[in-house]
Amino acid sequence: MMENFDVIIVGAGIVGLSTAWRAARAGARVLVLDKGPTAYEASSRATGYLSLRGETPEESPLAQAAERLWDGLDEELGYPTEWTQKGRLWAAITPQAFDALQITFQSFQRTGIPFEFIDAKTCRELIPALTPHTLGGIHTPRAGHANPQRTSQAFAWAFQDLGGEIREYTPVLDLLTRGGRISGVRTPWGEIHAGSVVLCAAAHNAALLAPLGIDFPVAPVRLEAFVTAPLPPLFDQAFIAHGLAIRQTRRGNIHVNGGPHEWTAAGVATEMPKPTTPLVRNIARRLFEVFPTLRHAQMLRSWAGIIDVTPDQITIVHAFDAPKGLIAASSAGHGFGMSPSLGLALADLALQGRTDMPVASLSLARFADLPQDWRRIWNWQPGSYNT
């Protein structure tokens, strides 16, 4: 029997799940397909930050829209995300990092968000456990963080509560078109049809779009992370320093991830390897340099995940004119925080063909002059380390 849905979403990560939930709330019959378990790649392995994207002002309006949506998200979903909005701090503990932060601050000032460049004393007043070698930083009272596992679970459960269906271990092998429109997808178990298809499959989007003659520029990268055993409260801000993203969970665990990163390769339905490597030693060393009091903290568990990075490290949201009804997104590693607004934008595009979310500047049009060998030019090669 032929299966038909209003919307098929490829990828059960947090952006796909947010899109599915939004579309189901609007009354659509929605199916989510994933080659593996729900939220198994970047989403459940994210640090859990909402960044207001001062680094990339083109994304900042979408991030600020997400910030407004995060505030009422637990109540809307009916499940906890552990959203905490206590600001964000970038700190420098080396002269090179301090100089780089001052340059970064210039772009932050283009957003209209209250970012402030603060001295070492103010940094340590915000987070007393910081190393005495702290030189200064950037602070905003806005932004926040949440629990990646709980948030992914909350979106999935809320979607299923609306009658939505998630099929795990169901890779999409091909996109189906008919008469200039998307008509569905092909899986190992047959064809499934829909009027709209939304690709939220991160780096796998490129392999799915290539047979249609569409170049979707992403590079998958493996990111390592670990958490410590619970500790007494040290800080509640989203915190960046020394090449690391660090947060303290509500139970007291210190959750940290960072590079160097390993560039890898993605196919249509292949599982990308996610080993834990000796890089975690480097991450741990830098964590102790930022927080000397953590030197004897016990590591509870470590893991790795895959994120998709675009050439300019800015989100892609693109609704295609041909085939019509096909939408593709890459969050460039920023999807967790922006998932509430990204999901709303993608659901609008799938159901209405338009959205009021500020995504007009995030389309593939900006890559019109991108060289085919951009990965080589950028030195983003599978298997090579890039700091």
Segment 188-243, tens digit of pLDDT:
999 999 999 999 998 899 999 999 999 999 988 888 888 999 999 999 999 999 99
201 CB neighbour count, 10 Å cutoff = 31
pLDDT-based confidence at 263, cuts 50/70/90?
confident
- Please list the residues that pair with 30 across neighbouring strands: 7
CA distance from start to end of the chain: 51
pLDDT-based confidence at 343, cuts 50/70/90?
very high
Answer whether 0.85 is exceeded by the pTM: yes
Percent of the chain whose predicted confidence (pLDDT) is above 90: 68
Full set of structural domains in the chain with CATH = 3-76+148-218+312-380 (3.50.50.60), 84-143+220-309 (3.30.9.10)
57 contacts: CB under 8 Å, gap ≥ 6 = 107, 110, 111
pLDDT of residue 386: 44
What's the number of CA atoms in the CB half-sphere (13 Å) around residue 149?
Answer: 2
CA angle (384 as vertex; 379, 387 as ends), nearest 5? 75
pLDDT of residue 382: 62
* Look-up of token digits 């200064």: 136
Mean pLDDT in residue range 42-54: 77
Asked if pLDDT for residue 283 goes beyond 70, the answer is: yes
pLDDT-based confidence at 39, cuts 50/70/90?
confident
Per-residue pLDDT of 300-334, as tens digits, reads: 988 888 888 899 989 999 999 999 999 999 988 88
Asked if pLDDT for residue 277 goes beyond 80, the answer is: no
* Residues making up the chain, counted from first to last: 387
Task: DSSP for 140-162, please give it.
Answer: ES--EE--HHHHHHHHHHHHHHT
Asked if pLDDT for residue 133 goes beyond 60, the answer is: yes
pLDDT of residue 47: 81
pLDDT of residue 387: 39
pLDDT of residue 73: 96
Convert 36-69 to b/e letters by CB count within 10 Å (16 or more is b). Answer: eebbbbbbbbbbbbbbbbbbbbebbbbbbbbbeb
Per-residue pLDDT of 136-191, as tens digits, reads: 999 999 889 999 889 999 999 999 999 999 999 999 999 999 999 999 999 999 99
Q: Tell me the two tokens of residue 41.
A: 């790649």
CA angle (176 as vertex; 170, 181 as ends), nearest 5? 135
Average pLDDT score, the chain: 90
Asked if pLDDT for residue 362 goes beyond 60, the answer is: yes
Determine the 3-state secondary structure of 300 from DSSP: strand
- Please give the residue that has the higher pLDDT: either 377 or 124: 124
Asked if pLDDT for residue 34 goes beyond 60, the answer is: yes
- Please give the residue that has the higher pLDDT: either 52 or 18: 18
Per-residue pLDDT of 69-111, as tens digits, reads: 999 999 999 999 999 999 999 999 999 999 999 998 988 887 7
pLDDT of residue 56: 80
pLDDT of residue 260: 66
pLDDT of residue 383: 59
pLDDT-based confidence at 60, cuts 50/70/90?
confident
